[in-house]
Structure 1
């Protein structure tokens, strides 16, 4: 587990086209979608293609008129959350680019490349939103805030430390730990921010931005599903990683820490926002944390079984069908069957 992974050569014509393993296996580098190890990746790729969108599809005229009417506290929250999201979606494609060279399975490698491109679109959308509602100087300040605000840096530390550990030392253990970071980033770190924009929209404010966020959340749900599958697949092929349960313990600790950081961030970013109850938000974040543990086959750690903010479902994407996602051999509780009831629908 501590041995450094080898970068996969671009073309190895003596190897089969169908990969023998996701990581550390044999594959030619040639992708034939009708001859792949895990058939579900083909459906996932088609879903990613079907979701494709551009920021230019969203009319921001009304948002440009409404933004100056927002109170200063709401504008501060808007700009801080955009800063946070921009930092997450700036780093994510870099991490995916670092992982891809070590993935043997060409279908998963293709998914990683496609997701990385999606993240660049998300990042561009934040620039598009800001350029529609504020001047260039303010836009630059928001993006400077993404790297200078200590609250944002602390907020991101859990995930980015895992990413940096893999980049510095690309072992299989550091890879699966980084993939837990992917689950956290895609599945926890965005959610109080998403709720903020949906709260504005239910008050008929910044509806263009909310539409953009809905598109982004739809993508992130697909990314989360694929990231979870990649993680479970590598664990299934390498059961020694969690033989003594230590990796499961690591997942629990990481999810718990991420939930704590998200709650702390929400108390800072969403304080004094009309329509946002911070205690309710705390329960919502814990509910999300339970969902993320469920999708990895682990148990709840928070006593929150139902979504405490049901209004948010009006802005959420359609439920993701997880019926066929559990296609790996089950050797650990980390990849117990994920279903529509214990997965991550209804967020």
Structure 2
């Protein structure tokens, strides 16, 4: 028995209390009549059969979710291995120049952009964490999928810490910044859309064997993978990268560059899982529902862009932000094997992919090159 005062030692368990003879005699009598209870059934033979990986499924699987291998989805395990090649914390990045830039170099318009990007992202990454950790993982029936998603939950928490570190380092009013998603309609609209999708799959009575429920889950999964993380997030860091290209807020931009690469992998993994669900369950999103999803997301992003950039800052405009959303939306739809929502969209920020594609980074303390893998743009 564990000794809680000294966990490295044990103490003998107390002897079990003796029972009265009458109780023992009563226990020895066979049960008859209405009080009789059948003996426990023997464990069914199928409970001890080895797992056949071909029986694994993304959802509604038929195998033991506690048995990792043999893999049915080795690509999911590779995502986990690649994600673990990048270990960092926001404390690794020097933010001293950002403090000076914010107070002495940024214009009022640029401060507005910087603050509201952080205000949106702080809430969004918590939403992403809750979606994977509370709504998605427990529905996955193959452990190799859950293991990468467990890493994803950690990364979303790390991203939230990063935004908090930036806010705290600059000395922004935390209560005011964190409440903007409630009081700024253009930020609140995006959070409200995401919350609606999340709430629809967090119900305790959800049954994915029901085709209607399965379709709703698939649409929510696609929303978070392709829209929320794959497009809103991917596009959402761009205003700060525009400052970085002019030599401003370089510490924050470097933090976001690391985050962006995580988010690219999250979106890539989510799209891969969504396609696997479509294949295994013989189900496809309704084109009209996808059209509505993209248009709602595009309208929210356009309104957010015009709030963020009512006047252009040097090198970046609200029109560029909105145009890039449509271009990236087409990329995500194509990756899903679905119709592109904006076939005439063109790339408005040609340098954005550079932020996700750079393969080499300087080690901050040893000035050596380290490699970080990404899952695709």
Q: Deviations over 1:245-287 (max 9, x none)?
A: x534322321232122112211111222232132232221110
Unaligned runs of 5+ in 2: 1-46, 207-212, 360-374
- 1: CA distance, partners of 2:303 / 2:343: 19
For 1:259, the equivalent position in structure 2 comes to 298
- 1: CA distance, partners of 2:52 / 2:198: 29
For 2:199, the equivalent position in structure 1 comes to 164
Matches within 5 A, 1:336-347: 345=377
For 1:217, the equivalent position in structure 2 comes to 260
Unaligned runs of 5+ in 1: 1-11, 320-342
TM-score norm. by structure 2 comes to 0.75
Matches within 5 A, 1:284-323: 284-304=324-344, 306-318=346-358
Using a 3 Å threshold, how does the CA distance of structure 1 residues 178 and 301 change in structure 2: closer, same or farther? closer
Using a 3 Å threshold, how does the CA distance of structure 1 residues 125 and 256 change in structure 2: closer, same or farther? same
Q: How many residues align?
A: 304
Using a 3 Å threshold, how does the CA distance of structure 1 residues 131 and 175 change in structure 2: closer, same or farther? same
Contact 1:201 1:210 in 2 (8 A): yes
Contact 2:98 2:251 in 1 (8 A): yes
For 2:219, the equivalent position in structure 1 comes to 177
> How large is the RMSD of aligned CA atoms in angstroms?
2.2
**Is 2:236 the counterpart of 1:193?**
yes
Question: What is the CA-CA distance between 1:28 and the residue it aligns to?
Answer: 1.9
TM-score norm. by structure 1 comes to 0.81
- 2: CA distance, partners of 1:109 / 1:39: 13
For 1:269, the equivalent position in structure 2 comes to 308
For 2:31, the equivalent position in structure 1 comes to none
Question: What is the CA-CA distance between 1:315 and the residue it aligns to?
Answer: 2.9
Using a 3 Å threshold, how does the CA distance of structure 1 residues 13 and 259 change in structure 2: closer, same or farther? farther
Give the SS at the match of 1:316. Answer: helix
- 2: CA distance, partners of 1:115 / 1:31: 20
Contact 1:291 1:344 in 2 (8 A): no
**Is 2:47 the counterpart of 1:36?**
no
Question: What is the CA-CA distance between 1:193 and the residue it aligns to?
Answer: 2.7
- 1: CA distance, partners of 2:120 / 2:278: 31
Contact 1:290 1:301 in 2 (8 A): yes
**Is 2:113 the counterpart of 1:113?**
no
**Is 2:240 the counterpart of 1:234?**
no
Matches within 5 A, 1:6-25: 16=51, 18=53, 20-25=56-61
**Is 2:81 the counterpart of 1:59?**
no
Contact 2:58 2:140 in 1 (8 A): yes
Using a 3 Å threshold, how does the CA distance of structure 1 residues 103 and 192 change in structure 2: closer, same or farther? closer
Higher mean C-alpha displacement, 162-171 vs 307-316: 307-316
2:168 to 125, 131, 143: 131
- 2: CA distance, partners of 1:146 / 1:13: 52
Contact 2:59 2:277 in 1 (8 A): yes
For 1:324, the equivalent position in structure 2 comes to none
Matches within 5 A, 1:138-157: 138-157=173-192
